[in-house]
Amino acid sequence: MDWVWNNFFTGTDSNVGIWGLTLDHLWLSALPIVLGFVISIPLGYWASHSRVARSILLSVFSILYTLPSIVLLVVVPVTLGLPIISPTNVIVALTIYAIAVMLRSATDAFSSLSQDVVEASRAIGFSPLQRFFRVELPLAGPVLLAGARVVSVSTVSLVTVGSFIGVDSLGNLFREGKSTNFGTEILAGIIAVLIIALVYDSIIVLIGRILLPWNRRASRRSARAAELREVSA
């Protein structure tokens, strides 16, 4: 425990302390989560409207997803012509993973919209753009956010891999702790990663509550209905 306090603001191999590594970790994971989410929405919408787009997009990203992260971390800088220790590599690689997971959710979300509702919004005079932003996107919201929660957790843990090519993150604690055989440091790293994952997850849930109030009332209702069914059964 003393080790944690002594190394909180300075120390560890890059001398930025646990706090410094946490900040690195925060933005290295936040960017891929947000980018993956934003990029997946138009791609998923397209995939849900065109069979061809769907099969091409989903198979390309499935293949990319099967590449081990360390391979991707080497392939990305070579392809983009970046130095291997640039944080951009981590961000690009993790964004690709994020899209691979998020694209499936987004495609499902947009494919499973009620056609009655979409047709009705067309019939009463929403323009295509209004329909997308005011009807389809909000209704896809719950499934999109569920996807974002999965992406968030996996991205936060994958950032640690960057430490093995020299991009600082909480993964440094794993690398250093392992090489010096110092369990406390590894444990500190794991706990810090878990805390970040929890914080991000709570933020996503909170955003959902604020932006999708109708969804909460709807799910409470169906939960109550399920309870009633159970009681009566």
Partner 1 sequence: MIEFKSVSKLYADGTHAVDNFSVVIPSRKTTVFVGSSGCGKTTLLRMINRMVDPTSGAIEIDGENIANTEPVHLRRGIGYVMQNSGLLPHRTVIDNVATVLFLTKVPKVEAYARANELLDTVGLDRSLAKRYPGELSGGQQQRVGVARGLAANPNILLMDEPFGAVDPIVRIDLQAETMRLQRELDKTIVFVTHDIDEAFLLGDQVLILEKGAKIAQRGTPEEILANPASDFVASFIGADRGKRRLTVDSKVKAKGNDVVLIDAGGYAAGVISAPGGKLAVGSASPKSRSVSNKTSQAGDG
**Closest separation between CB of residue 118 and partner 1, Å?**
9
Site string for partner 1, 37-56 (x = CB under 8 A): --------------------
Neighbours of 176 (CB within 10 A): 17
Please report where in the chains the tokens 């499934």 appear, as a residue. 143
Rounded-to-integer distance, Cα 90 and Cα 30, Å: 12
Which region holds residue 127: left if phi is over 0, alpha if psi is between -120 and 50, else beta?
Answer: beta
Residue 184 DSSP SS3: helix
**Closest separation between CB of residue 119 and partner 1, Å?**
7
**Closest separation between CB of residue 222 and partner 1, Å?**
9
In degrees to the nearest 10, what's the CA dihedral of 142, 146, 151, 153?
A: 130
Cβ-based nearer residue to partner 1, 134 or 178 = 134
Alpha carbons within 13 A on the beta-carbon side of 29: 31
Cβ-based nearer residue to partner 1, 178 or 224 = 224
Q: Which two tokens stand for residue 218?
A: 């709807």
**Closest separation between CB of residue 41 and partner 1, Å?**
17
94-153 positions binding partner 1, by CB under 8 A = 114, 116-117, 119-127, 130, 135, 138-139
Residues that bind partner 1 (CB under 8 A): 114, 116-117, 119-127, 130, 135, 138-139, 212, 214-215, 217-218, 221
